[in-house]
Amino acid sequence: MFASGYFESAVDKKILSGYKGGTFKSYGNITRGEMALMISRAFGYEYGNAASQAQRALMTRGIAQGMTDGQFGSQLSIIRSDFAVFLARALDPTLRIGSEAASVEEERLEK
């Protein structure tokens, strides 16, 4: 299977658990909710094994924010570039929403 070694490593680290029957959808889309679970597990954020708490963990840290309707959009598919942004924010706190270093738009407006 494509990327099986990466899946195996993520399962060993309890970042991924797969779908029912132990399957992985290597070419399938993931949702914003699944992304929140993966990042929360990978970075050791407390989330009580609940997707809603994983989403809250990312939002309170400035890693992700909700949709314009106030919902997290947990069932919406996420594209790779958005996942990369969330991962970058998890890795580097200066990129997080609300971080002074992250407010590039404000700096541009001041000049």
In a domain, 52, yes or no: yes
Question: Is 78 part of any domain?
Answer: yes
Judged against a pLDDT cut of 60, whether residue 90 lies above it is answered with yes
Q: Is residue 14 part of a domain?
A: no
Q: Give 3-56 pLDDT, tens digit per residue.
A: 667 777 877 888 877 777 777 777 788 899 999 999 999 999 999 889 899 999
Cα distances from 75 to residues 33, 34, 52, 93, 109, in angstroms, run 6, 8, 12, 26, 35
- Number of domain units in the chain: 1
Query: Across-strand partners of 78?
Result: 30
End-to-end CA distance of the chain: 51
**What range does the domain containing 44 cover?**
30-110
Is the model's pLDDT at 106 over the cut of 50?
no
In-domain check, residue 102: yes
Partnered with residue 40 across adjacent β-strands are: none
In a domain, residue 4? The reply is no
pTM of the model: 0.77
pLDDT, residue 86, reads 94
Does the pLDDT of residue 70 top 50, yes or no? yes
